[in-house]
Amino acid sequence: MVAVQLLFVIGLANGAPILAQNLLRDNWQYPVDCGRNFPDGRPLFGVSKTWRGIAAALVAATIGAVGVGLSAATGLWLGIGAMAGDLMSSFVKRRLGIAPSGMALGIDQVPEVLLPLLLVQHTVALTTSEIAAVTVLFLIIELLLSRVLYHLHIRKQPY
């Protein structure tokens, strides 16, 4: 049961920035990297990683956690972990020359689910096998949902 709750909250955290982008368009869109580049000349994260998205993820994860019976603190940590994982993914993708929203199987999904799970594993008593199962399930759901969101014109391109 806790695995489903965690999967739901992590999904909310990862989906909230996309929803915020669609609802708010260009309003409050400040890039996390402030437009700076890494020494390789590429952006640190890219323009699609915004403070608005991070704020939306943290709020959604916190509220979502309480909604499914987890503590607000657990939700906040899940949101922080999901966004840290998302930033790590973007950083790696920029180093590899992959454009924002470009497909990078595993790089896009695993840090966004694994990092938050590791942050709360002791709080919610997760086993290693539960962490592995939720990670694989998240990857599958993310790939399927990405196609649906693309066809609904919510996502710019599918994974």
Number of neighbours of residue 100 by Cβ within 10 angstroms:
14
Residue 15 one-letter amino acid: G
Residue 140 one-letter amino acid: I
Q: Is residue 14 part of a domain?
A: yes
Q: Is residue 146 part of a domain?
A: yes
Which domain range does residue 6 map to?
2-151
Helices (H), 25-157: 51-67, 72-95, 110-120, 128-151
pLDDT score for 127: 95
Going residue by residue through the chain, which has 159 residues, state the pLDDT in tens, using 9 for 90 and above.
Answer: 899 999 999 999 999 998 998 888 888 889 999 999 999 999 999 988 999 999 999 999 999 999 999 999 999 999 999 999 999 999 999 999 998 777 788 898 999 999 999 999 999 999 999 999 999 999 999 888 888 877 887 666 666
Domain count, the chain: 1
Q: Is residue 112 part of a domain?
A: yes
Q: Is residue 45 part of a domain?
A: yes
**Rounded to whole angstroms, how far apart are CA atoms 139 and 10?**
12
Q: Is residue 159 part of a domain?
A: no
Q: What is the pTM of this model?
A: 0.91
CA dist list (Å): 43 to 7, 61, 68, 99, 159: 30, 27, 37, 10, 21
